[in-house]
């Protein structure tokens, strides 16, 4: 599956209707983004069950702000609507595939319990 341009208009629907969504936050003027783009596109062709989205931070500043994007490119992976991975910078092809494999194997029941614990601790403070 090729990459999908994500915007505020289609973002929520995309993450709610797909188990795993990988997002590349980028900008047209960004040199490292231009370097990472072809790697991201190539890897996206190998995973038909995963949505690979791209967010142009120039056009979608609200989405970039929501995820507190401070440098680009930044890759974020959502599994079952929970952000389970976030990393700025260019990732090599094998590194991206390795992270995808780890995300596919994640026990989301355990992740949800961890999120609940963190939220409870934050409320207690």
Among all residues, which ones are annotated catalytic? 30, 33
**HEC assignment per residue over the chain:** CCCEECCHHHHHHHHHCCCEEEEEEECCCCHHHHHHHHHHHHHHCCCCCCEEEEEECCCCHHHHHHCCCCCCCEEEEEECCEEEEEEECCCCHHHHHHHHHHHHHCCHHHHHHHHHHHHHHHHHC
């Amino acid at each position: 599956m090729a990459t999908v341009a994500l915007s505020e208009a289609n973002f929520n629907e995309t993450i709610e209707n797909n188990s795993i969504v990988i997002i590349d936050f980028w900008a047209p003027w960004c040199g490292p983004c231009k370097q990472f783009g072809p790697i991201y596109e190539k890897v996206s062709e190998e995973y038909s069950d995963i949505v690979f989205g791209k967010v142009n931070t120039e056009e979608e500043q609200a989405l970039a702000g929501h995820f507190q994007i401070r440098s680009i490119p930044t890759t974020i992976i959502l599994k079952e609507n929970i952000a389970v991975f976030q990393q700025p910078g260019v990732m090599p092809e094998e590194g991206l595939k390795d992270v995808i494999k780890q995300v596919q194997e994640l026990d989301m029941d355990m992740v949800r319990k961890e999120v609940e614990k963190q939220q409870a601790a934050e409320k207690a403070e």
